[in-house]
Structure 1
Amino acid sequence: MTTLDASAESVPRVPAQHTAEAAPEAPPAADPMMVGLPSFIVGSVALGLVLIGYVPATAVGASLAVIIAATGLGLLIAAVWAAAVGQSAVAGVFAIFSGFWLSYALLVLGLTHNWFGIDAAAAVDTQALFLISWLVIVGMLTLSTLRLPVAYTLLFALIEVALVFVLIGTLNGSAGILQVGGYIVLVFAAVGVYLFFNSASTATGGGALPLGPPLMH
């Protein structure tokens, strides 16, 4: 009578690569930039068009529908999303810029409807106060990006330069300087478009676009 030899030597050896199934590829991580960047871009384009004179100077509120409903709200949603996935730096930037756009809309509405009791003589200084305050914040953000790829630093630096031109144009009542500021706004909107293409590429399984080395290591 024979017996079944179940020793290790008698059991057929199957190569490991045929027994282990390949692990499924992990999907791309959720990226709040996919909402935050388009929200930022559309408001920038709308504001830039106002500043370069696409609409009459009396239509200063022409961009507010876009800025309130799309940019301010969109950036707020992106900030909450970023915070929920643990991207605190992204959440902070989006929340800060949501505040910028919403406060800009509130400033324009308040001045044009006399909500704040500010007379015409103080309107220019009120706008300057707004711009100087945000110059400080955007300058702070620009310096905080020096360890990031240079494309992000370029974006914030262009925002800072645009604010400077708008401030000078406002204080001097110069439509020409305001137009320069508007064109710079459109340029940083274009940088935002490039950054969005980078996020869209990685979100759809492609590679990242070159964003440049950081200025500080």
Structure 2
Amino acid sequence: MTTTAAATEAPAVSAPAAPRGDPALIGVPTFIVGATALGLVLTGYVPAAAVGASIAIILPATGVGQLVAAVWAAALGESAVAAVFGVFAGFWLSYAALVLGLLHGWFGISADAAIATQGLFLIAWLVTIGLLTLTTLRLPVAFTLLFALVDLALALVLYGTVGGSTVATTAGGYAVFAFTAVGVYLFAGAVSAATGGKPLPLGKPILS
């Protein structure tokens, strides 16, 4: 038997199947539940002193869920999706760390510096997510709307925190509910596509 014949008769070795799926099916609902909890805190559903009420959801569900979605997207080679979920994993986990740290005095921050510390947190994330918003201008407009509403919520809460305005903080909570509604729409479209249906229309990009 010649070498060529042996090679021809050798069984073919199939390559392992590439991972498939949609990380949004984990990332978006865990984002929704954390945002809903945060919106309820900001709009006064719980007393102002109970600011940590949302952490039981945000830390183990939203923060971890965003991280899982980011890793999944990276495994699929979807770098932009991984970046979005990775950024929001950082936001939610750092929010939980901020609240728990201030409540328990973990970071040696005095009571006099608490407001400035919260302002630092909000400014840093407003800059970061504002930049992220600009990168979505070539994506369907639903994504740009989502991030723009996140920016609005951060700006209102920043003003409410630093300026001592409960009206602005409450308005920020309603902005949170607004971007949560956009998240619900995105999740509905992702589930529809994943179950064999048609995805929901997301609108044309602002920049083509």
TM-score by length of 1: 0.86
1:169 positional shift: 0.1
Offset of residue 86 of structure 1: 1.1
Give the AA of the match of 1:78: A
SS in structure 2 of the partner of residue 146 of structure 1: coil
Match of 2:157 in 1: 166
Partner of 1:58: 49
Q: Distance in 1 between matches of 2:58 and 2:112?
A: 27
User: Which residue pairs with 1:17 in the alignment?
Assistant: none
1:134 to 2:125 alignment: yes
Identity %: 65
Q: Does 1:192 align with 2:146?
A: no
Which whole-Å CA distance do the structure 1 matches of 2:165 and 2:50 have between them? 17
Q: Which consecutive residues of structure 2, in runs of 5 or more, have no partner in the other structure?
A: 1-19
Which amino acid in structure 2 is aligned with residue 215 of structure 1? I
> Which residue of 1 is the match for residue 26 of structure 2?
35
Residue 14 (structure 1) aligns with: none
Match in the other structure for 1:117: 108
Runs of 4+ with deviation above 2 angstroms: none
Q: Does 1:175 align with 2:188?
A: no
Q: How does 1:43-54 map to 2 (within 5 A)?
A: 43-54=34-45
Aligned ranges 1:18-97 → 2 under 5 Å: 30-97=21-88
Aligned pair partner of 2:145 in 134, 144, 154: 154
More helix by share: 2
Task: Identify which of 178, 198, 201 aligns with 1:207.
Answer: 198
Asked which structure has the greater CA Rg, the reply is: 1
Stretch deviating more after TM superposition (83-92 or 41-50): 83-92
SS state at 2:50 partner: coil
When the two chains are superposed, the root-mean-square deviation of aligned CA atoms in Å is 0.7
Q: What is the number of residues matched between the two proteins?
A: 189
Q: How far has the Cα of 1:197 moved from its partner?
A: 0.6
Unaligned segments of structure 1, at least 5 residues: 1-28
Give per-residue Cα distances to partners, 1:73-120, cap 9 Å, x unaligned.
Answer: 011011111111111111111011001000000001111111111111
Q: Following TM superposition, by how much is the alpha carbon of 1:162 offset from its aligned partner in structure 2, in angstroms?
A: 0.3
Letter in 1 for 2:186: L
Displacement after TM superposition at 1:172 (Å): 1.4
Q: How many Å separate the matches in 1 of 2:96 and 2:165?
A: 21
The residue type equivalent to 1:174 in the other structure is S
What TM-score does the superposition give when structure 2 sets the normalisation length? 0.90
